[in-house]
A and B are shown apart, each in its own frame.
Chain A
Amino acid sequence: MYNPQLDNDGNLKHLLTIEGLPKKILTQILDTAETFVGVAERDIKKVPLLRGKTVCNIFFENSTRTRTTFEIAAKRLSADVINLNVGTSSQSKGETILDTVDNLIAMHADMFVVRHGQSGAAHFIAQHVPDNISVINAGDGRHAHPTQGLLDVFTVRRYKPDMHNLRVALVGDVLHSRVARSEIHALTTLGVPEVRVIAPKTLLPAGVEKLGVQVFHDMKAGLKDVDVIMMLRLQNERMTGALLPSAQEYFKTFGLTPEKLSYAKPDAIVMHPGPMNRGVEIDSSVADGSQSVILPQVTYGIAVRMAVMAILAGGNA
């Protein structure tokens, strides 16, 4: 089957979605990321891999955190980084996406990191760019956010290396989350036997069971004996119509409190992709508690993004 993310030899060419990525590539990214974790702990937090390359962060939609981590990742690889908030520049003057991209190609960019509100935008750009340019999807609509999915799986693997014996629960707004799909794909590909989703019916996409997950609508049953709890953010800005009675009501039923956390295994880890809505999907004492690995996720996010860029940039000459 044709996979636009891979070249003819099966190597990674673009990173658009985790769906369809072979286990070999997923493992290659995670193993490579291990080598970058240590780079951040040194005096000189840079390696010369992408020296002389230009990485363009094209953000058609705002996301300070994702843009910053991609920028730091590229800079630690010694690349030059250009940030474009297209929402506030040419597009508002009427330029099309491809015109924007063509202009950057003419400026000899080597890699594009693309964030867009429309599903498929990064894919569209990847089909348009010449062979020597790689595209990384930094989130497109409800579709995918592969580096977030990868960094979450990397965090799971660091804390719970035996992935074949894990029970993982995703809690919250699966319907609007582009991370949830990426995570489910990555976890099942890497051999996690049991992935659960816990959410009210109104926040689950139709046919979610087809992704190979078990569905729960109750935290007590859903969190029982899990090793990993991945909280999802309540996507207020994507919410249309009355899917929820109120934030308080949601917190009462699905917010992660110390009491609900106690249903999980005692050594379970708590993850959240950020930004957190404290008191809506997660209680502050859990977010800041000893089982929380929310800040390590941010640190690992940089290593994982460095790994993706390093793999994409190598072997193109």
Chain B
Amino acid sequence: MQLPNPETLLAEITAKIQTQLEINGAPNTALVGIHSGGVWLMQRILASTKQDVAHGMLDAALYRDDYAQRGLKTEPKPSNIAFDVTDKHIILIDDIFYTGRTTRAAMNELFDYGRPASITLAVLINRGGAELPIVPNIVGANIVLKPNQDLQLTQDAGGKLLLSLQKASHV
């Protein structure tokens, strides 16, 4: 299967986020990346907007609904939201949208910091398979994958984004 070039997709969602920034006003907007892929994307987007936008990062591990089954297997990374969430238009950024459970967890965590004016979800790829009534607002590409396929975003030493498709280990 031919995977899209993530760098092209990033340019597309960056343009859409730029529009969003203009609509809401940069001072009222904040970018929040979800570890790890969403944080890489957020940093790239911040660099290209050339604007001073509030930003932070979340690891929704402590809010996941499958914690009782899976535990904290991979080491969670600290969340860092150093701005006042209340009344901000939050653009939540993740790499791959799948079941929607990570988004649900991230939204719950965000609300523990304050009451945002709105939350927009931006993702590089929507791979289909949502298990919750959550749909990303800004999408780089839609790809339909089987449950036994695992799509991963990685970053090479030079910061270049790469997509790879593997057989899922957990299915």
Please tell me if A38 contacts chain B, counting CB pairs below 8 Å.
yes
Q: Is the CB of A42 within 8 A of B112?
A: yes
Q: Which of B69, B75, B113 contacts A32 (CB 8 A)?
A: B75
Cβ proximity bits B61-87 to A, threshold 8 Å, 1 near / 0 not: 111000111111101111111000000
Which residues of the other chain, B, contact A311 by a CB distance below 8 angstroms?
71-72
Q: Is the CB of A317 within 8 A of B68?
A: yes
CB-CB contacts below 8 Å: A6-46 with B: 11, 28, 31-32, 34-35, 37-39, 42-44, 46
- Which among B63, B68, B108 has the greatest number of chain A C-beta atoms within 10 A? B68
CB distance from B18 to the nearest CB of A (A): 30
Tell me, in angstroms, the Cα distance from A49 to B72 when the chains sit together: 10
Cβ proximity bits A282-317 to B, threshold 8 Å, 1 near / 0 not: 000000000000000000000000000011011111
Please tell me if B59 contacts chain A, counting CB pairs below 8 Å.
yes
Please tell me if A47 contacts chain B, counting CB pairs below 8 Å.
yes
CB distance from B49 to the nearest CB of A (A): 26
Which residues of the other chain, A, contact B75 by a CB distance below 8 angstroms?
28, 31-32
Please tell me if A48 contacts chain B, counting CB pairs below 8 Å.
yes
Which residues of the other chain, B, contact A315 by a CB distance below 8 angstroms?
68-73
Which residues of the other chain, A, contact B77 by a CB distance below 8 angstroms?
35
The total of chain B residues at the interface (CB under 8 A) is: 23
Q: Is the CB of A314 within 8 A of B80?
A: no
Q: Is the CB of A310 within 8 A of B80?
A: no
Q: Is the CB of B108 within 8 A of A48?
A: yes
Please tell me if B129 contacts chain A, counting CB pairs below 8 Å.
no
Please tell me if B25 contacts chain A, counting CB pairs below 8 Å.
no
Q: Which of B62, B67, B70, B81 contacts A35 (CB 8 A)?
A: B62
Q: Is the CB of A44 within 8 A of B62?
A: no
Please tell me if B114 contacts chain A, counting CB pairs below 8 Å.
yes
A35-B62, A35-B79 are known contacts. Are A314 and B113 too (CB-CB below 8 A)?
Answer: no
CB distance from A228 to the nearest CB of B (A): 23
CB distance from B54 to the nearest CB of A (A): 16
- Which among A31, A34, A35, A310 has the greatest number of chain B C-beta atoms within 10 A? A35
Which residues of the other chain, A, contact B114 by a CB distance below 8 angstroms?
43
Q: Is the CB of A47 within 8 A of B62?
A: yes
Tell me, in angstroms, the Cα distance from A317 to B71 when the chains sit together: 9
Q: Which of B59, B68, B81 contacts A314 (CB 8 A)?
A: B68
Which residues of the other chain, A, contact B73 by a CB distance below 8 angstroms?
315
CB distance from B85 to the nearest CB of A (A): 9
Which residues of the other chain, B, contact A31 by a CB distance below 8 angstroms?
75-76
Tell me, in angstroms, the Cα distance from A198 to B61 when the chains sit together: 42
Q: Is the CB of A314 within 8 A of B112?
A: no
Which residues of the other chain, B, contact A37 by a CB distance below 8 angstroms?
78
Tell me, in angstroms, the Cα distance from A225 to B63 when the chains sit together: 44
Tell me, in angstroms, the Cα distance from A313 to B75 when the chains sit together: 15
Tell me, in angstroms, the Cα distance from A145 to B165 when the chains sit together: 47
Known: A31-B76, A47-B62, A314-B68. 17 other contacts (CB 8 A): A28-B72, A28-B75, A35-B59, A38-B79, A39-B62, A47-B109, A47-B112, A48-B63, A49-B62, A311-B72, A313-B68, A313-B71, A314-B71, A315-B70, A315-B73, A316-B68, A317-B68
12 A-B contact pairs sorted by A residue (CB < 8 Å): A28-B75, A39-B62, A42-B112, A43-B113, A43-B114, A46-B112, A47-B63, A49-B67, A311-B72, A314-B67, A315-B69, A315-B70
